[in-house]
Amino acid sequence: MIAQKEKGINEKRRHSSKKTDITEIEEIFRQTTRINMQIETKKEEILYWRNLSTSTQAVLSAANTGGAKKNRSRVEDCVCKITDIEESLNGDMEKLISLKAKVMRIIDQIDIPEYKSLLTHRYICDKTWYEVADSMGYSYVHTVNRLHPKALKRICEIGIGVEE
């Protein structure tokens, strides 16, 4: 009897080691949200610097030629800043594309359409929780506090790997 219990416990341990930890899943999904926020922030920065360079050019065109050299360097500074941000933005976008491909592979393996839809809306389509709830016809509380944890738990139950 004891040997059977120990065998069962060892079997559970071996089986559970193959399963994915829920915190791993949450972290991967959170990364998509964080990278999206970084991308949006960088887009806003680029817009800021473009507006600044445009306003600097307006000052430059109205100024006498004596002060033009100083204003021109501000425009050049803005262009350099924009270039740096765009390079960083391209790197973030490459990371996001790779991460979303990974997330899509995970979501595609889920066997419950409701969970699949919820995770796709949130982490692939970048919808807010309110938008996800509305598109699925549920309340915010039901979506965030009930469905989302169940979807993550389901990923762990079926043992979807997050490697790569």
Q: How far apart are CA 45 and CA 108, in angstroms?
A: 35
Structural domain contains residue 14: no
Q: Are residues 40 and 94 in the same domain?
A: yes
pLDDT tens digits, 37-67? 999 999 999 999 999 888 855 555 545 445 5
For 2-43, write each residue's pLDDT tens digit. Answer: 555 455 544 544 444 445 688 888 898 999 999 999 999 999
Looking at the fold, whether 92 and 155 belong to one and the same domain comes out as: no
Same domain, 26 and 89: yes
The parent domain of residue 26 ranges over 22-100
**Tally of structural domains, the chain:** 2
pLDDT of residue 118 exceeding 90? yes
Q: Output helix, strand, coil percentages for the chain, rounded to the nearest 5.
A: 85, 0, 15
Which residue, among 43, 29, 37, 40, has the nearest Cα to 121 in the 3D structure? 29
**Domain-located, residue 119:** yes
pLDDT of residue 34: 94
Q: What is the mean pLDDT of residues 147-160?
A: 88
Q: Which residue has the tokens 């915190």?
A: 23
- Reported for 52-60, long-range contacts at CB under 8 A and 24+ positions apart, including other chains, are 52/78, 53/78, 53/79, 53/82
